[in-house]
């Protein structure tokens, strides 16, 4: 079920403020929580997104009250629902008419608020396990398109969140244009080395096409930090071993004969290459290779003479 609500106020005679659209969501499959946001505002990732594994995710925007982030997460941790958290955050805020906030809890319930003094177009869509919100947008189609894209997208939460941003931009986006974007996805022990919950934490602080740049960075982030998909690993047969030996030799990592045998010398050369290129998370200690590593190696080899 999707619920849509808007608040608009005709303030064309006043200066336009930072315009922002965002999505907060939970992955029902694994419990990941995340926020994605784009704004005509520098370094939006330093202001809007807040999330804590096992607790919830929050986007605070439109004259953003940044206390909504830590306070909201604390309320969710106490057991309040998303709707109760939104109500508590806005209840005592004398400037709540200017605020906009979206909240999703670890249980998957979502709620949003758009103050009646937010600059038009401003509003939100609340769906099952997510909400989309925006202000100073071209029209309501931005948040509607985000909701549709999120619901129809497949794959991990990070990719679905970025797909929602791209759809919102394609549908109209900010009236003032683009400048920055950010993506935050949390999972218990999901951070580098397992020491924190920041599974993905990416920011594009100033760029003419920040959502496209965010998508590019996400692809790189997944390459370097996500583990291999076991179902996609390729066996290193004689043909592939020969190709690896050729490429690794040309790149200076392999000094033995090209035999087509994936022996210790070839394996050592491939490990050395993977280490130099920070691809250790995708290393396979048997006669298999991650297709993303193979593509990276081929691209590196092809670019060597350019």
Q: Mind listing the pLDDT tens digit for each residue in 208-236?
A: 999 999 999 999 999 999 989 999 999 99
Count Cα atoms within 13 angstroms, Cβ side, for 17.
Answer: 17
pLDDT at 131 over 60: yes
Query: Exposed (0-12), middle (13-18) or buried (19+): which is 114, by Cβ within 10 Å?
Result: buried
Distance between CA atoms of residues 149 and 172, nearest Å: 14
Query: Which residue segments constitute the domains of the chain, with CATH numbers given?
Result: 3-225 (3.60.20.10), 230-305 (1.10.101)
Q: Mind listing the pLDDT tens digit for each residue in 38-60?
A: 999 999 999 999 999 999 999 99
Distance between CA atoms of residues 229 and 255, nearest Å: 30
pLDDT at 254 over 90: yes
pLDDT the model gives residue 6: 56
Does the predicted model carry a pTM greater than 0.75?
A: yes
Give mean pLDDT, residues 273-292. Answer: 96
pLDDT the model gives residue 13: 38
């Amino acid at each position: 079920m999707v619920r849509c609500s808007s608040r608009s106020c005709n303030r064309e005679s006043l200066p336009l403020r930072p315009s922002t659209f965002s999505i907060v969501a939970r992955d029902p499959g694994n419990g990941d929580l995340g926020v994605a946001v784009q704004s005509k505002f520098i370094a939006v990732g330093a202001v809007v997104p807040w999330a804590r594994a096992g607790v919830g995710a929050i986007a605070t925007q439109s004259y953003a009250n940044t206390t909504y982030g830590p306070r909201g997460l604390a309320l969710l941790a106490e057991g309040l629902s998303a709707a109760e958290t939104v109500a508590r955050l806005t209840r005592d805020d004398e400037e709540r008419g200017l605020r906009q906030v979206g909240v999703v809890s670890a249980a998957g319930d979502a709620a949003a608020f758009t103050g009646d003094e937010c600059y038009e177009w401003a509003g939100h869509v609340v769906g099952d396990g997510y909400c989309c919100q925006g202000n100073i947008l071209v029209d309501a189609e931005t948040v509607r398109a985000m909701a549709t894209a999120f619901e129809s997208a497949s794959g991990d939460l990070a990719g679905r969140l970025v797909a929602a941003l791209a759809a919102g931009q394609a549908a109209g986006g900010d009236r003032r244009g683009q400048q920055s974007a950010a993506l935050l996805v949390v999972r218990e022990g999901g951070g580098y080395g397992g020491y924190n919950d920041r599974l993905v934490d990416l920011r594009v602080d100033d760029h003419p096409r920040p959502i496209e740049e965010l998508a590019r960075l996400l692809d790189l982030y997944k390459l370097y930090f996500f583990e291999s998909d076991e179902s996609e690993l390729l066996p290193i047969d004689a043909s592939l071993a020969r190709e690896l030996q050729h490429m690794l030799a040309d790149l200076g990592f392999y000094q033995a004969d090209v035999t087509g045998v994936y022996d210790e010398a070839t394996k050592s050369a491939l490990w050395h290459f993977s280490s130099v290129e920070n691809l250790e998370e995708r290393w396979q200690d048997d006669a298999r290779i991650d297709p993303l590593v193979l593509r990276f190696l081929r691209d590196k080899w092809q670019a060597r003479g350019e």
